[in-house]
Structures are given as C-alpha cells and as structure tokens.
Amino acid sequence: MKSNNLAKMIGKRVVQSCITILLVTLFVFALIQMVPGDPVANYLGATATEEQIAYYRHLYGFDRPVIVQYLSWIGGLFRGTMGQSISYQSEIADIILPRLGTTLTMVIPAFIIGTITGILFGIIAAKNRGKTIDSVISFFANIGVSMPMFWLGMMGMLVFALKLRVLPSSGYVPITRDFGGWLSHMIMPIIVLSLGVNAGFVRLTRSSMLEVMRQDYVTTARAKGVSKKDVTFRHQLRNSMIPIVTTMGMRLGSMVGSTVLIESLFVIPGLGSVMMNGISNRDFMLVANGVLIISIFVAICNLVVDILYGIIDPRTR
C-alpha cells in the first residue's frame, strides 16, 4: 500500500514537471521575441545587405510566424535536435551539452561538500547551543551568507594564485584529459561555491535541530534511556530533514543557472558563460535551449525532493 501511494505521488509529480517545463519553454520563447535586436543582422555585421539578411532569416526560419517557430523548435526537441546556433554555426546540442558537463563538474562537488559540512556544523552548533563553538560556527556562517561569491573568488585568486602561487588563477582542463590539472584549476571555484552552500545549511540545520529538540517525543526518547547518538540521528535529524531537503533541491537547481559570475571570473567554459555569449550575440535559440536545460534540471531536483519527502515523512504520500 505504501509503495502504491509513493508510486502515485511520483507519477503525479512527473506529469506536473512536464507541464511546468512546457510552460517554461512557451514563456521563454515568447519573452525572447520581445527582446530588441536581430540575430541575423548582428551575425552578418553592419556591412550586410538587405538581400543577405533576408536570405539568412529564411534559412534559419526567422521569417516564419512566431507560433510556427515555437512548434518547430518543440518538434525538433522530440526528434533529438535543438536547432542551429547562428553565432556558433553549429548544432546547439553540441554546444550546450558539453558546457553543461563542465558546469556540473564544478557544481556537484561544491554542492556535496557544502551540504555535508553545513549539516554537520549545524548539528554541532545546535547540540552546543550558547557555547563558544556555537558562537564561532554561527559567526562564520553569517559571514558566508553575507559575502558575495564573486568577491570571495577574487580574494582566493589574490591569495592562492598571485601571492602564494600554489594554484592557477584561471582556465580549465577537462577532467577526462588530466584529473590533476582539472583539480588544480577547479579547486578554488568549487570551494568558493561550497562556502555559500555551507553557510546556508549551517543556519538552516541549526534552527531546524533546535526546533525539534524542544519536541515532547525527543524528551520521551531521552527519558526511555535512548542513547544520545540515536536521539540525534534517528529522532532529531530525521525530523529536521524536511526543510533541509527542500533547500537542497532548490539550491542545487539554482546553482546550475547562477554560476555565470564564477565561470566568468575563473574563465571556465560552462553553461552560464555560453548563455552570456548567446545573449550578447542575440543568439536567441541558444539562450532558449540553455534556459530549457536549466528548467529540466530544476524540475528533476524538485522531483527528487518530492520522492525524498515521501520516504522521510510518509504523511506527504
């Protein structure tokens, strides 16, 4: 019965996610049409003639009605093609997907490190409420939340690249080519991203744990002689995980689309940087497909969160 309820919940969330992604594509495509500028004229330059502009507009389908362009794009997605990039003169999937992989090799390690350390420090702070260690952890967590990632990245470059000269200041090496080179170039961006994640989870875990620690069932467990370890992890932490899991899904999804500053600072050819190039070059189809990829990733993260809801708290089924 429990598995049936969970399966129904997952099926319902999958349908909702598909509808949401479809609405996002429609909204983004409509919004792009309102952006001033002609991608064809921007690509050909100021010396292009009217005949050349008309030819390329017809070649890329920009002379068709907007609804026809949208349906053609959606139909291409079902056939496994995202269309052509006018600025890169290449299939958009061949541009975006490798860049997405680059972004994920930075985002996922940063998310894992920041989440694990944030939850652990949050538990320590909550278990030692009012003590020196709680004040120290809370102090650094507040600093981490307040400091812009871009500023932290510049400070890291100044100290570790320019002063100590132990790490490269920028650049990227694919992880499949040279793991050591990838690690030396990515360790600073990963740490900078993880600090923001860590600080957020420290504060959230601490507040959630303190709320749960005041509940009657925790007092009852202690009165029954349950060990401190079991009380912490089986009763307090598990019941504190709902808001934490919610934030985990939202944070991971938003990180993929918000790394553009870090990618620009450290010259990393990720998804954020290629979308910025698409915006500056008026390559609207490239931008639309980038937003689509991000929305799919966010929808997947939210789906995983809903599944974890059903596992952690059976009442949500």
Q: Is the pTM of this model over 0.95?
A: no
Tokens representing 158?
Answer: 């100044």
Q: Do residues 82 and 251 touch, judged by C-beta distance below 8 A?
A: no
pLDDT at 117: 92
Three-point CA angle 115, 18, 89, nearest 5°? 85
CB within 8 Å of 68: residues ≥ 6 apart: 61
- Domain range annotation of the chain: 1-87+282-317, 109-280
Cα(177)–Cα(208) distance, integer angstroms: 43
pLDDT at 315: 59
Q: What is the pLDDT of residue 25?
A: 85
Beta-carbon contacts of residue 200 (< 8 Å; ≥ 6 apart): 114, 118, 144, 145, 247, 251
DSSP label at residue 315:
G
Contacts of 281 (CB under 8 A, 6+ apart): 39, 42, 43, 86, 87
Q: Would you state the pLDDT for residue 133?
A: 92
Q: Please tell me the CATH code under which domain 109-280 is placed.
A: 1.10.3720.10
Mean pLDDT per segment of 10 residues, for the chain of length 317 residues? 68 84 86 78 78 83 84 85 84 88 90 91 87 89 83 87 86 86 90 89 86 71 69 69 78 79 86 83 85 86 77 61
pLDDT at position 112 is 92
pLDDT, position 116: 92
pLDDT of residue 312: 66
pLDDT on residue 113: 93
| Phi, psi for 152 (deg, rounded to 5) | -60, -40
Torsional sign, CA 43, 48, 53, 55: negative
Identify the bridge partners of residue 90 per DSSP, sorted by sequence position: 85
Burial class of residue 287, CB neighbours in 10 A (0-12, 13-18, 19+): buried
Give pLDDT, residue 214: 72
